[in-house]
Structure 1
Amino acid sequence: MTRRGEFALIRDLFAPLARVRPEALGLEDDAALLAVQGLGGLAVSADAIVAGVHFLPDDPPGSIAAKALRVNLSDMAAMGARPVGVLLTMALPAGLDDAWLESFARGLGEDLAAFEIALLGGDTVATPGPLTVSVTILGDVVPERALRRAGARVGDDLWVSGTLGDGTLGLRVARGGAMGLPWPLQEALRERYRRPVPRVALGQALVGVASAAMDISDGLCADAWHMARASGVGLRIEAPVLPVSEGAATLIADDPALFVEVLAGGDDYELLFTAPADQRDAVAAGAAACGTLVTRIGRVEAGEAAVVVVDAQGEPLALERTGWAHDA
């Protein structure tokens, strides 16, 4: 028996159900955009995380709560929205006791306070399956000014925030694959997997500056393809300039094959965005004001929707894997 993968499932079965509402954006962006009379507009998105898929079953409860919240905050960042509040739904297996749930709630409360947003409601149910945490997030944004995936134009610069590959490499470390990495670097990578850093302030700073934006959840190349397809352009990525952390660089130096995780590893939750070349100073100023590293990694080119990664000599790299896709 066959079953569609994640993106085919959305395209074939669920996107048609959204066509009656243009605010759904064809289910092709990081959030829906709703105009609310008297309030301006709302960005609305939802993401779920599942034990054994998005986090390790023995991860600390507080870090599970933080990840569930932060992957949704990343969607708000990608739209340039200011997060307002969340709805929380949990499917709880029988083995979780009050002590675990209290720790989860503390971690969630700390993150809600840190990002200045509120819990607005939700639901809890029992399940015989793995722990599942789903968050629906609401953000404040003027729909006409929101960042979208479809705005990249030929000649624009291609940028990325932060460093790449840390999410997947952090999972490797959490599973015991540190390969002699010094403890501080192990811990830094592990935390990047458990607690991604949503670039909320940067997303808002890029409104009116960036021509297109999205977050990187499934891997740089896979998500760049989504942007290229939405915008109808080609994206050229220069592999030698891709930003990596000290921990990632150390692992890659020992095993160069791990560089594929920089190109295709998921769970980074950085922002991928484009901006006209004459906006370079504005991008740099916005990033500096947020204290966020940004790196110009390529450009937007004419032609069919495609992503090309080139080496230092400008030669295309052959990629066996471009990113992560869930089997739905």
Structure 2
Amino acid sequence: MTFVSRRQLATGAAALCLAGASSLRAQDAYPQRPVKLIVPYAPGGGTDVFSRLLAAQMEKEFGQPLVIDNRAGGASTIGTRAVADAAGDGYTIGMVDSAFVTNPGLLGEKLPYDTRKDFIPVSLLSRTQLVLAVPAASPFKTAKELVDYAKANPGKLTFASAGIGTGIHLAGEQFRQVAGIQIVIVPYRGGAPALADFLAGKVDFTFGAVPSIKSYIEAGNARGLGVTRGRAPQLPGIPGMDEIGYGSVDSASEMGLVVPASTPAPIVEKLQRISATTVKDAVFREKLLARGFQPIGTSTDEFRSHVDREIDKWVKIIAAGNIKPE
């Protein structure tokens, strides 16, 4: 049996108190200068827009400017690698989207960083849902009607993809695999040309991001058949894919903060607390929803578990679809 003296207990308690006080001081001292937020896309896209909205709101409590640094290219890998290679001092942080979890399956060993080891996922902050949609003139009123026709006529339906490996493409691939149908996936160079041909009736169906397709559905130019990740607050009349039997079709554009793996825990904790609290603020939440962003705000552990699950899922889907990057 081991005995511990009162002096040893007191010394241990004092050490714990000092460690806790040191952690609090580190949180309070950070940041002491502007913080760079790397966005791995060009200005103007959804990830950039969300990042700028978030930065402007976080600065109110953060006490220092959050400076957006757009590092586009390489299917988001250039900017994301810059985060991985940065000093872990909290002064370079990164915004990532769904490419963060799909690129391991798409690029494999060509990925210039280890998604699981080179980052600390701070918080999953936002999700933009996708709508399974058909043009207004389409005969399909439900997803079941579309699937039934596709099964009876394999290879006849065309699907508008925003490009190889994009969220819209992967939603279509998920749907194809889950429904057990054969379709022709038509890859466009971006969401805008894909949406234009879809609205013109040149393709049979697509998945569209809520902010991009909402106005067309409301105007009667398109018909929504289902929404990934449950009903969208902006389009509550369209059932979630889970309600119509395709809950595993869950591709969506998700955005979250990450930092280099060497970043001290007190800094990570402060970034998580402020960013998650920011997106949950009632007024800011409504502002995000109006733009098609669904606020989330997870803990660091929750985000890490989510990243692990998503990587495993997409590796399997991408392999099953034999999807190769352009």
Do they fold alike, i.e. is TM over 0.5? no
**Structure of higher CA gyration radius:** 2
* TM-score, structure 2 normalization: 0.29
